[in-house]
Amino acid sequence: MKNIISRRAAIATLGALGAGAAFAQGGATRPLTVRLGYQKSSTLIALLKVQGTLEKQLAPLNATLSWHEFTSGLPLLEALNLDNLDISADVADTVPVFAQAAGADLTFVAQEAPSPAAQAILVREDSPLRSVADLKGKKVGFAKAAGAHYLLIAALEKAGLSFRDIDPAYLTPADGRAAFERGAIDAWVVWDPFLAAAQRQARVRVLADGTGIASYQRYYLASTKFAKARPDVLRVVYAELERTGRWVKQNPKEAAALLSPVWGLDAATIEQANARRSYAVRPVVAEALAEQQRIADAFFAEKLLPRKINALDVALFQPGLKSS
């Protein structure tokens, strides 16, 4: 499998280099609007949007940005697959698996190091449920194909249950919060900053987070067509993500103050959420996709994925390579 991914990565790299050379001969001077999709939990992209940093860095490439917000990762990558986006901001590790099953031609641009405590299974404080095993027969809300979906499957398996043992309710984070608060669901599986908001604003308990169950890595992706055509743009995006990730961890209060009006959350809640995310941006290597295969196999075993996939059947962007 490593040989397969190495060949695919080499082909993608050669294609990117060739495309980069073509743009260097005049194509890159043409105006370009880069369609970038993101969601509320796309912290680094949200900060770059507020600061206007990415636009400034892309201006020398004669490129501008159009911003497109989505409720969760699955519709974001569906838009990427349908060629309605060029780049996807970070989505949980589960989401690309579903996109691959739908036939998407993906290039992995970057990943954030694991943040397992940044998603959790919640119950109300007065709930009689005391363990994941108690979820048997209960109604559990979560976003379909989100990292929370895999956390639930993995936690149930660890507790000796299967996904078929619960009553699933596919809900966006906003709808999940509303259903949770009115008692329409028994438990809610969600990620930060929605997790931190619930912990600070409602009376909740954590049944389990991802620690020792699901590492929760987040990936930045592009359509392979765009990655081959504009590696220069992806290098700028990667560099700004890496820089911003370091800045957030070094300046938690300043980052929270910037995000507060954007997210509609108080700064303390955002600090709590950000403390659980690694924001350590790094290139994607084949070895890092091992958990992707475990996720894919888990969903396929539960008959939640339409077909078996090879998680290595993707292209990997190499930010250090320059086009000639």
Q: What is the pLDDT along the chain (324 residues), one digit of tens a residue?
A: 344 344 344 334 433 433 343 343 334 557 899 999 999 889 999 999 999 999 999 999 999 999 999 988 999 999 999 999 999 999 999 999 999 999 999 999 999 999 999 999 999 999 999 999 999 999 999 999 999 999 999 999 999 999 999 999 999 999 999 999 999 999 999 999 999 999 999 999 999 999 999 999 999 999 999 999 999 999 999 999 999 999 999 999 999 999 999 999 999 999 999 999 999 999 999 988 999 999 999 999 999 999 999 999 999 999 976 543
132, 185, 138, 137: which is closest to 156 by C-alpha? 132
Q: Using the Cα atoms of residue 11, residue 17, residue 21 and residue 27 in order, give the sign of their dihedral.
A: positive
**What structural domains and CATH numbers belong to the chain?**
2-114+217-316 (3.40.190.10), 116-209 (3.40.190.10)
Question: Tens digits of per-residue pLDDT, 73-88?
Answer: 999 999 999 999 999 9
Radius of gyration from C-alpha coordinates of the chain: 20
Percent of the chain with pLDDT over 90: 86
pTM of the full structure: 0.87
Q: Using the Cα atoms of residue 258, residue 57, residue 222 and residue 1 in order, give the sign of their dihedral.
A: negative
CA distance 164 to 141: 14
Cβ neighbours of 304 (radius 10 Å)? 17
